[in-house]
Amino acid sequence: MKHSGTLLKMQTQLQEEVQYHLPVGEELVYLNELIGQTIKLTYENEIYCIKCGRKTVKSFNQGFCYPCFRDAPEAADWIIHPEKSQAHLGIEDRDLEYEKSVQLQPHVVYLSLTSGIKVGVTRHTQVPTRWIDQGASQAIKLAETPNRYLAGMIEVSLKQHLDDKTNWQQMLKNLQPNIDLIAERDKVAMLVNEAYNEYLLPKSEIVHMNFPVLHYPVKVKSIGFEKVPEYEGKLVGIKGQYLMFENGIVLNIRKYAGFVVSVEV
Ligand SMILES: [Zn+2]
């Protein structure tokens, strides 16, 4: 069967095994049942901006055309740097209404195990999606705040003690230290500036993510549609937003949001 259309990042559900659907145009391709099978991906040499829908020759920041990357509130700095959020002060960055709608809602500061242990921030509605997307095998909530700014400030205060980045090769090889996240949460809670103590969640529980992977690679080789417009191979697993094929070949689907691709299964 062949599906063609614009790709978006994979949709996920946390079940006993994480469930993945790949949006291809109007269709949702269920991927878990394709693991162990050969699939063929062909880039049709067109990209459409995920925000405005215009055709673009290049994708910026995982799916935007250049004008949207430059101007759209969805591509602003405070997305990556929550501590730069200013909607709680009524200060506009690119679009105050949008910024209020996203920033002024409950946010979670969490610890997750991806390659090592890392600290991160997300809207509470994005739990556990955010954890699945980053390929975390486990995660635990550290704090919940009423807005994005406060969560960002807690994260910043912990950056000198913890990573905030994932080493994606290590994540895909499933190499991570054996860490007790409950003990770690208790330890990290002591490091949070006491001005934020009221937001700590001392009784939160570990959430486990079990990814559909037949076998993890020893070495990882990333491919992309720019250099490899056509790829056919046996799908051996999915972790985070990566498809994993035989011989350690991996494809970061998120990077190709907006690309027109056909998927043959
Ligand atoms: Zn655009």
Joined tokens for residue 139: 């995660």
The pTM score is 0.95
Q: For residue range 49-58, list pLDDT tens digits in order.
A: 999 999 999 9
- Cα separations in angstroms, 230 against 223, 226, 262: 10, 10, 10
Which pLDDT band, with edges at 50, 70 and 90, does 163 fall under?
Answer: confident
Q: How far does the centroid of ligand 1 lie from the alpha carbon of residue 80, in Å?
A: 19
Smallest Cα–Cα separation from 228: which of 249, 203, 257, 198?
249
Helix (H, G, I), strand (E, B) or coil at 124: helix
pLDDT per residue over 13-44, tens digit each? 999 999 999 999 999 999 999 999 999 999 99
CA distances from 233 to 27, 75, 216 (A): 22, 33, 16
pLDDT band at 68 (very low <50, low <70, confident <90, very high): very high
pLDDT of residue 160: 87
Model pLDDT, residue 173: 97
**Number of residues assigned to the chain:** 265
Ligand 1 center from residue 53 Cα (angstroms) = 6
50 C-alpha vs ligand 1 centroid, how far in Å? 7
Q: Which residues surround ligand 1, an ion (CB under 5 A)?
A: 49, 51-52, 65, 68
Q: pLDDT tens digits, residue range 108-153?
A: 999 999 989 999 999 999 999 999 999 999 999 999 999 999 999 9
Is pLDDT of 59 > 90? yes
What are the residue ranges spanned by the domains of the chain?
2-69+212-264, 76-207
CA–centroid distance, residue 51 to ligand 1 (Å): 5
CA of 214 to the centre of ligand 1 (A): 38
HSE, CB side, 13 Å, CA atoms: give it for residue 2: 6
Single-letter amino acid, residue 204: S
Quote the ligand 1 centre to 74 CA distance (angstroms). 11
- Asked whether residue 177 carries a pLDDT value surpassing 90, the answer given is no
CA distance 127 to 12: 11
As a whole number of angstroms, the distance between CA 31 and CA 19 comes to 8
**Structural tokens at position 224:** 């992309």
